[in-house]
Structure 1
């Protein structure tokens, strides 16, 4: 009997890709905190997860065989500009460094949590295959 990884791993396999993309976007915001006219961005996590899980897709990479995942759902279409919480400081930059650092830390914790869930799923499958 073949193992269906979509059923076995659930949503956690997709959340890793979405969280990795969100980490890139947030770190880009932090890096551009002093860049004039830079607009802070964020990933719409709900729509990115829905697209990733419904299409079984993630990051954009080249596909060399039909057995590879087609990872195109996490394109920049889910990256949106963030609504600033503070008034313009005069340079047009909308990055709030403290908010970005907090979002980055929360995203990192959620990424680690998803890794933990995947680890337990793989551990369970390994035990089932071994007959433990």
Structure 2
């Protein structure tokens, strides 16, 4: 029997976890805005996630051969790539963390997190409606 979620709930859970990790990392960057020679850290996972799901950037399945099916996504082994910016700027008296950039990343990440939680919530609301009306 097929699951009601078909593995999507695990994928959504992993993406929410990665977005939370990114938010914590950006908050750490903001907290260290006045720390001398601190290098802003990043957590990038979108491109790796697309690759792991065997999707192109438009969300379509990519295959090298029509007989091939995309591999199943394993959320337990997928992780984002943490890194530091390649060349932080060092200017005496100025911050090495770009506060505007960090706040922009934080706002975008929060919006995407909230959008995904809204999608998950709507899925459960729809399921609840089906269950409650199914007994009538």
Q: Do both share a fold (TM > 0.5)?
A: yes
| Aligned position for 2:110 | 108
Residue 125 of structure 1 corresponds to which residue in structure 2? 127
Q: In the aligned structure 2, how far is the partner of 1:91 from the partner of 1:48?
A: 37
CA contact (8 A) 1:42 1:80 kept: yes
In structure 2, C-alpha distance between the alignment counterparts of 1:32 and 1:99, rounded to whole Å: 14
Using the size of structure 1 for normalisation, the TM-score is 0.68
Q: Secondary structure at the residue paired with 2:73? A: helix
1:131 is paired with a residue whose SS is helix
TM-score (norm 2): 0.67
Query: Root-mean-square deviation (CA), in Å?
Result: 3.1
Determine the structure 2 residue equivalent to 1:32. Answer: 32
Of residues 117-126 and 2-11 in structure 1, the stretch that sits farther from structure 2 once superposed is 2-11
Q: 2:37–2:90: 8 Å Cα contact kept in structure 1?
A: no
* Alignment CA distance shift 1:48-1:8 (3 Å): closer
Q: What is the number of equivalent residue pairs in this alignment?
A: 115
Structure 1's unaligned 5+ residue stretches are 58-71
Query: 1:82 pairs with 85, 103, 106, which one?
Result: 85
Q: Which consecutive residues of structure 2, in runs of 5 or more, have no partner in the other structure? A: 54-71
The structure having more radius of gyration, on CA atoms, is 2
Runs of 4+ deviating beyond 4 Å? 50-53
Answer whether contact 2:11 2:75 (CA < 8 A) is retained. no
